[in-house]
Amino acid sequence: MTSLVDRAGRHYPLHEPRWRGDDGSPLMVTPLRGITRDDVASHVRSQWRYAAALPDGIAQPVSLGEGCTPLLPFDVDGLRVSLKPEWFNPTASFKDRGTSVMMSLLRAQGVTAMLEDSSGNGGSSVAAYAAAAGIRATILAPESTSPAKIQQSRVHGATVELIPGSRQATADEAVRRSAEIFYASHNWHPYFLQGTKLLAYEIWEDLAFDAPDAIVLPCGAGSLVLGLHLGFGELLASGAITRRPRLLVAQPANCSPLTSAFAAGRDAVTPGEWSPTIAEGTSIARPVRDQEVLDAIRTSGGAMSAVPEEAIAPAAFELASRGLYAEPTSSIVVPAIRDFAARGELVPGQTVVVILTGTALKAADTVGRLLASH
């Protein structure tokens, strides 16, 4: 029977609203069988065409049309890749994939008010889907969050509170308040990962029901890494593919705890002093699922790259010069591709998908400052 499970191996029923295990560890849904191409509801023009891959508990989807984003050809120094611009989602980031599934479950469970913490995109996504679900949302965000993201959350009707200090300080405050209001964090809730895993199914269908050789993606807390790990793992289990794609994961060097742990061969991150980065969406000093993210990258035979801060703005302008207005958080994939290629992790002839997680339209102030000094 499908259930939720914590790191200690304790199981919990799917229908019980909870965001972590009794031991304080994050929860995961027990492994699912996966689906094949015959299970894809091809008449549905959203990620819910893969609903057969989801666990039970969702009576009716809360959907705004998320998913079905394009795959665009791109070239980096002669290396051919395919870009997946996730800003085609309703609130302009990949977070909508996870939020749609998470919010669908919360509505089915009768949750009427919830708390989220976010550096921007997660919060605006939760605000939009909470509005669609009829759920009251409170969003805690770092005071440095881009104003456009805060504005979007407030327009959707969410209560937004700005927290002084780092992104981690915001997360810590949210956990403290979880005793007063249901905490439905995109970093903690297991059904958020069930939504992000549908990106793997979409890439599989994009590639004529095949897996790429590698996927290059940015990472903060790692929900996208874990979603791809789960989705391609299920496709492997169902026999729909014969191998996993390698996960090639980028973090900004100014805040790269997972990359540091990966390079050192550790199973978890260790405390460290990190600097601010313009890639605000990846500025997570203590990812709650660090052990799972590191294991996912290693299971795929993947690698990690720490992108120097001085390389991020040029990457954003390079993408923009080719018509792609990506926020700095997404732009780190470009120097990461060059790093992976230099290390032999990427070679010509491979099928490579690169994820652009969000648009620069929501980081207008940051981009304006970069433009002034460009």
- Which CATH number fits the domain that encloses residue 146? 3.40.50.1100
List the strands of the sheet with 352-356, edge to edge.
Answer: 72-76, 79-85, 352-356, 214-218, 246-252, 303-307
**What is this structure's pTM?**
0.96
Averaged pLDDT for residues 8-16: 94
pLDDT confidence bin for 280, thresholds 50/70/90? confident
Rounded-to-10 torsion of CA 64, 70, 71, 73: -150
Residues 316 and 246 in one domain: yes
d(CA 307, CA 196): 24
Residues 229 and 196 in one domain: yes
Residues 136 and 266 in one domain: no
Domain assignment present for 323: yes
CA distance readout (Å), 46 to 51, 149, 204, 236, 255: 10, 24, 15, 23, 34
Domain assignment present for 59: no
CB–CB of 92/361 below 8 Å? Answer: yes
Residues 204 and 86 in one domain: yes
Token pair 């700005």 in the structure block, residue: 162
Which of 190, 220, 248 terminates a domain? The answer is 190
Averaged pLDDT for residues 56-62: 90
CA distance readout (Å), 49 to 37, 41, 143, 199, 201: 11, 4, 38, 11, 10
Residues 184 and 196 in one domain: no
Residues 145 and 248 in one domain: no
Task: Give the other-Cβ count within 10 Å of 231's Cβ.
Answer: 24
Averaged pLDDT for residues 219-239: 97
Domain assignment present for 109: yes
CB–CB of 287/225 below 8 Å? Answer: no
Residues 83 and 223 in one domain: yes
List the strands of the sheet with 182-183, edge to edge.
Answer: 159-163, 136-142, 113-117, 182-183
Q: Tell which residue, 77, 80, 91, 321, has the closest CA to residue 213.
A: 80
**Per-residue pLDDT at 253:** 97
Domain assignment present for 219: yes
Residues 300 and 310 in one domain: yes
Averaged pLDDT for residues 87-111: 96
pLDDT confidence bin for 270, thresholds 50/70/90? very high
Residues 144 and 217 in one domain: no
d(CA 65, CA 62): 9
Strands (E), 41-102: 72-76, 79-85
Domain assignment present for 31: no
Give the type of residue at 253.
Answer: A
**Per-residue pLDDT at 72:** 98
CB–CB of 146/78 below 8 Å? Answer: no
pLDDT confidence bin for 153, thresholds 50/70/90? very high
Distance from first CA to last CA of the chain, Å, rounded?
Answer: 56
Averaged pLDDT for residues 165-172: 84
Residues 144 and 268 in one domain: no
Residues 238 and 318 in one domain: yes
- Percentages (nearest 5) of helix, strand, coil residues in the chain: 40, 15, 40
Across 148-157, 234-243, 253-262, least confident range: 148-157
Give the type of residue at 173.
Answer: E
CB–CB of 250/270 below 8 Å? Answer: no
Q: What is the pLDDT of residues 115-142, one digit of tens each?
A: 999 877 889 999 999 999 999 999 999 8
Q: Is 80 helix (H, G, I), strand (E, B) or coil?
A: strand
**Per-residue pLDDT at 281:** 81
**Per-residue pLDDT at 166:** 80
d(CA 171, CA 283): 12
Domain assignment present for 63: no
Domain assignment present for 140: yes
Residue 231 has pLDDT above 90, yes or no: yes
**Per-residue pLDDT at 55:** 95
How many structural domains are present in the chain?
2
Tokens at 120, concatenated? 């921007």
The more confident residue out of 47 and 282 is: 47
Tokens at 349, concatenated? 């002839």
Residues 209 and 127 in one domain: no
Domain assignment present for 23: no
The residue range of the domain holding 340 is 72-90+192-372
Alpha helices in the chain (DSSP H): 95-108, 121-133, 147-155, 167-177, 190-196, 198-206, 223-238, 257-264, 290-299, 312-320, 328-331, 333-342, 364-372
The more confident residue out of 22 and 168 is: 22
pLDDT confidence bin for 57, thresholds 50/70/90? confident
Residue 167 has pLDDT above 80, yes or no: no
pLDDT confidence bin for 8, thresholds 50/70/90? very high
Which of 190, 220, 240 terminates a domain? The answer is 190
Q: What is the pLDDT of residues 185-210, one digit of tens each?
A: 989 999 999 999 999 999 999 999 99
d(CA 98, CA 357): 13
Which of 150, 165, 190 terminates a domain? The answer is 190
Q: What is the pLDDT of residues 31-44, one digit of tens each?
A: 999 999 999 999 99
